[in-house]
Amino acid sequence: MRQLREKPTILDPCVAECQVFLTDAFQLGYVLEQILAFTGKAKITASTFGNGEEFLRKLIMLKNKGMITESVLYCDTKAAEKNAKMHPLLRSAYDRINFCDNHSKVLVIEGAYPVVLLASQNQTRGNRLENYVIIQNEDTAEYCLKILAQRKTAQLHGFNH
């Protein structure tokens, strides 16, 4: 039986500009929600290999609360094709979906200040030891956004809003 663990504390990225966590006590949606508590309303740009229902539902809840003003996804084409049952949730969670060859796991949060979250966890339920790096740095955010925007992307049939 798993023991309940205390979650490490996520600090305001303006105060702690680089935070590193190696834990199985977090889920990606929890980390995003904690960062948004500091940055306020934000546009998010995400990249992932695979998506899961729990994270997508958290994203939809954050959008409905007004915490996410716009959401853009860069998702691996093959993973999206394999997981067709997630398509309705993907369309509800993201304003724009770009399919490409991708294995990166990045969240760029553009709120009162830019924050980049690099994680080993896909947008799926982890339940394993994962790493999370929270970086508050405008140059790092711009770099990540630039690299993602340069990806050759495609739309899957039926994915246009």
Only one residue has tokens 């405008």, namely 138
pLDDT at 86: 78
**Alpha-carbon dihedral angle through residues 66, 69, 75, 81, given to the nearest 10 degrees:** 60
pLDDT value of residue 1:
45
With beta carbons less than 8 A apart as the criterion, state whether 74 and 96 touch. no
Is the CATH number of domain 18-151 3.30.870.10?
A: yes
pTM to 2 decimal places: 0.90
Percentage above 70 pLDDT, the chain: 91
The overall average pLDDT reported for the chain is 90
Token digits for 70? Answer: 């716009």
Closest by CA position to 127, among listed 44, 52, 20: 52
Local confidence band at 160 (pLDDT 50, 70, 90 cut-offs): very low
pLDDT in tens, 63-117: 999 999 999 999 988 877 777 777 888 889 999 999 999 999 999 999 999 999 9
pLDDT at 2 over 90: no
Domain ranges in the chain are: 18-151
Alpha-carbon gap, residue 36 to 44, rounded angstroms: 10
More confident residue, 151 or 127: 151
